[in-house]
A = this chain, B = another copy of it.
Amino acid sequence: MEKDTNAQLKEYRNSIDNIDAALVFLLSERFKITQKVGIFKVENTLPPVDKSREAEQVARLRNLALGAGLDPDFTEQFLNFIVTKVVLNHEKIRDGS
């Protein structure tokens, strides 16, 4: 019985690990693009933040989350978490560091 419990837990954890790897690789691709956007905005003297774009992203992701059975508030926090890092990276680009 102990062995069955361990086997089941291991199966769950293997799937979580696979998903986490996919998340890491996707995040890496996302930051590659936002890095390009940061350079592009500096080169074209575009404002670093676009509030209407951000509002669209939030609304779209909350809607996708609802359809996927994911907590929309968590999804919005998740986007904010990533965008905070993007803004930090863009500040580095603007400062030339």
Interface residues in chain A, defined as those with a beta carbon under 8 Å from any beta carbon in chain B = 5, 8-9, 12-13, 15-17, 19-34, 36-37, 40, 44, 46, 53, 57, 60-61, 64-65, 68-71, 74-75, 77-79, 81, 85
Contact = CB atoms under 8 A, between A and B. Distances in A.
A65 B85 CA distance: 15
B74 A24 contact: no
A5 B37 CA distance: 11
The interface residues of chain A, by DSSP majority, are classed as helix
A34 B16 contact: yes
Given A24-B61, A24-B65, A27-B78, A33 B15 contact: yes
Nearest to A1: B44
